[in-house]
Homo-oligomer: A and B are copies of this chain.
Amino acid sequence: MSLLQAFAAVQPLSESAQQLLAAAIVEKDYPKGHVLLPFGQIPAYMHYLVKGAGRIYYLRDGLDVTDYLALDQQFIGAVPALITQSPSHKAIELLEDSLLQSIRYATFEELCQQHLEIANLGRKMALFGFLEGQQRVEDLRFLSAAERYEELLRKHPTITQRIPLKHLASFLGTTQVSLSRIRSGKQ
């Protein structure tokens, strides 16, 4: 599914809205390891991972922390820095060779201020992000590390073949050692 199709699935879009958005989308291939956004840079784009994998990460007390993981057909962007247009203390890198469709945030913001359907698209996307965050809070509060791992596997059965375990552990809010214990079953 393309970014435009993903947009249209969130909010029905007229021809004119689709054309405005399509004109703002750029598609590009990137190699594994490519840094989409380095630390300290003001992010210009919101990205959509047509195919591939990436993560958002940062350093906390000198340790690498994975804040977010995205696989095929998911969005990836340093949202707080994006909407405030301030230097990001989080970085984005690709974990596989990937095909991305990206939209310049400033353009999207302008379109929102001009076009009703696009503003509502933006609204619904933000609402989905909000719901996702709520779910993540609930998972962190009430599920054990083992249960969060199971949940992740349920959603992305092949993720362990694609993403290094240390990143999964960090994303799940636990440690490599704990996750290894969980996988061994010897608890």
A residues lining the B interface (CB < 8 Å): 60, 79-80, 83, 112-116, 119-120, 122-123, 126-127, 129-131, 133-134, 136-137, 140-142, 173
Interchain CB contact (< 8 A) of A116 among B116, B129, B137: B116
Interchain CB contact (< 8 A) of A123 among B126, B133, B137, B173: B126
CB distance from A119 to the nearest CB of B (A): 4
- Residues of B near A133 (CB, < 8 A) are 129-130, 133-134, 136-137
Closest 3 CB pairs of A and B: A133-B133, A126-B126, A119-B119
Knowing A142-B60, A173-B141 are in contact, say whether A120-B127 is a contact too (CB < 8 A): no
- Residues of B near A115 (CB, < 8 A) are 116
Q: Do the beta carbons of B60 and A130 come within 8 Å of each other?
A: no
Bound-state CA distance A83–B131 (Å) is 10
- Residues of B near A116 (CB, < 8 A) are 113-116, 119
CB distance from A177 to the nearest CB of B (A): 17
CB distance from A26 to the nearest CB of B (A): 23
Interchain CB contact (< 8 A) of A134 among B80, B127, B173: B80
Bound-state CA distance A170–B82 (Å) is 32
